[in-house]
Amino acid sequence: MILKVVSKQKAGLTDMTDIKDVRNIGIIAHIDAGKTTTTERILFYSGKISRIGDVDEGTATMDWMDQERERGITITSAATTCYWKGHKINIIDTPGHVDFTAEVERSLRVLDGAIGIFCGVGGVQPQSETVWRQSEKYGIPKIIYVNKLDRIGADFYRVVTQIENKLGVKCLVLQMPIGSESGFNGIVDLIENKAIYYPTDSENDAVFEEIPKEIEEQVHQARNQMLERLAENDEEIMEMYLHNQNIGVETIKKAIRRATLAKTLYPVFCGASLRNKGTKLLLDAIVDYLPSPLDRGEIFGEDPETGQIVARKPEIDEKHCLLAFKMVNDMYFGRLVYVRVYSGQIVPGIRLINWTRKRKERILKILEVHANKFQEIEKAVAGDIVAVVGLKETFTGDTLGEIDSPIILEKMRFPEPVLKMKVEPKTKAESEKVFQTLLKLTEEDPTFRLKIDPDTGETIISGMGQLHIEVLIERMKRQYNLEVRLGKPEVAYKETITNCATGEGKFIKQTGGKGHYGHVVLQLKPLQKGERFRFSNALKGDLIPSQFIPAIEEGILEAMEVGPFKGFPVIDVECTVVDGSFHPVDSNDIAFKIAASMAFKDAYMKANPVLLEPIMKIEVTTPQEYIGEIIADLGMRNGKIEEMKDDGIYKIIRGFVPLRTMFDYATILRSLTQGRASYIIEPCFYQKVPDEQLKKMSEIL
């Protein structure tokens, strides 16, 4: 696909938006809640596109990949920029499928605010909770949009209650629907105290009227509830409310903005994006309530040379600070790196330092992004999200800055892959090309891993699920014209320890001349789930010179890649150097690296190692008549049912199940329910493999 590039001057976008009028927002939700459909309306009504695309027809602007259009889902986070009422809005539309959670994670890392979209029928679904928690990790203020209120079974107030109960937040309802399901034909704005009707399929034809008599009392109660909740969280409103003073619209909006930015309240809006109801009001809400880069304030990082905490203010005159949050290999531009400019301003030709890797870099071009189209621009300033060309050694999570102002921002953390497959080229002649292409894909996607089995020489790829791997393999076929064969899916097991233990490693070798001498004693302790690895040095005196400590840590990390117990990666272990010795002539990095590996293996096998397997959270939505069969089947798969609840004519079953038992589940579920049930599965935690299963595996491993 050839991408059109236009200069900013030709596009007529010469004005620079003030930083206070910039909004960097994300659209986050469960799959099929209407993220891309809503984004499409935002772009249309803001004048960015001239025609509304459709997800089902494969014409949506933000779903630009062929696979996205064919599958009807968002696979990669797509960025764009639009303008509304003098404000510049940078939008990232994120995937809703659990297999692409890394796309959500890295997008949220650079955003200032977000819109959480919830289906009016489905309410708070599993991935809704996941992406909401991800956004909370970065302290992102959010507004809530309840979509699809025109569908059968939609219930606005039920969804609001679910959001409060499941996500533990205080909702501030600012709109209420007029009518329900197919009769949904308008929205009440509780701040303005007006009714908005949509007589046609265009929001531009919306009609503002007085509140109808038949819902006047209901609206009055809802508005009072809004003011009461706002008064509880804002002193100015509280004072006016208690003294029965008239509270003006602008006063209410300012109070709502304060509460939103402080994350004490979450404004709730409603609509039906597909039917063009409510999205222009949502645009107003983005401008009115979500933060600018100035509202988010300065960002903090670490000076890699001194270890001190340093700050960068979102100002043009500040020292440069950029965070690379995404890297793609584009057919037209080559290596494209998406960056958030936190401070300063960049122009083509500027030289920077990648402080994460201590590499010199030069930006050749700066591009404003609109899905898969790009406009070349003359500069990017604090608050901007752009793509740049020219960075050769910068990857996801790296920080760039000036040569005399070192800073490294907090790195992003991505979930570990849970599924692996063997892969081989269709022909031997393409072996090297396939390997290099897979390597490119691992650079783009932090949750996609590649390794060569040292014993068999086979190429093994790892990902977040079957769909994740299928999409990447399909990309190889379409984008690089390479076809491969995949082996059967395998579970990405891990190992850990359950007790403390001490181990010793000595590597002493004389070769006639200068020899090798390394002697290390390690103490191993189990860590809490998810802590992965911790290393410390508890040596006293000069038992081992400090220059050999990094080599010891490196030796431990290498030993952890192939666990001594069953050959799987080791996690959640604390390693402490407690003793050792050195030789003034023969000691070197290699000797201590090998000695540390030996000491780790010695201690590890004494610490009662166990094998861990990924446990998945599962949610099955099924007609009531199939509940018995589904529960029985999940029981056979060692699943545990946590909750069952009614959802109209359907039943929702939630629980946990080992990944190893789930590879054929889609086919079996279709067979059990005549294709009427659906399910969602996502990685949740690692758990010890049952002894009975371990015995079976030992016969194979």
- Confidence check: pLDDT of 408 > 70: yes
Q: Is the dihedral of CA 275, 281, 282, 287 positive or negative?
A: positive
Stretch 659-663: mean pLDDT: 86
Place of tokens 């621009």: 377
Stretch 191-195: mean pLDDT: 93
Q: Give the model's pLDDT for residue 1.
A: 34
Three-point CA angle 71, 447, 30, nearest 5°: 45
* Strand positions, DSSP E, 212-349: 266-270, 299-302, 309-312, 321-330, 334-343, 345-346
- Per-residue pLDDT reduced to its tens digit, 386-399: 999 999 999 988 99
DSSP string, 60-122: -SS--SHHHHHHTS--S-EEEEEEETTEEEEEEEPP-SGGGHHHHHHHHHT-SEEEEEEETTT
Contact 112, 293 (CB under 8 A): yes
Q: Give the model's pLDDT for residue 181.
A: 87
Report which DSSP code applies to 589: H
- Per-residue pLDDT reduced to its tens digit, 554-566: 999 999 998 999 8
Round the average pLDDT of the chain to a whole number and report it. 86
- Per-residue pLDDT reduced to its tens digit, 318-355: 999 999 988 888 778 888 899 999 999 999 999 999 99
β-pair type (640-647, 573-581): unpaired
Share of the chain above pLDDT 90, in %: 47
Ranges 56-65, 251-260, 319-328, 507-516: which has the least confidence = 56-65
pLDDT band at 69; cut points 50, 70, 90: very low
pLDDT band at 603; cut points 50, 70, 90: very high
- Per-residue pLDDT reduced to its tens digit, 117-144: 999 988 887 778 878 888 888 889 999 9
- Confidence check: pLDDT of 5 > 50: no
Ranges 147-151, 219-223, 415-419, 474-478: which has the least confidence = 415-419
Ranges 75-84, 145-154, 228-237, 573-582: which has the least confidence = 75-84
- Confidence check: pLDDT of 9 > 60: no
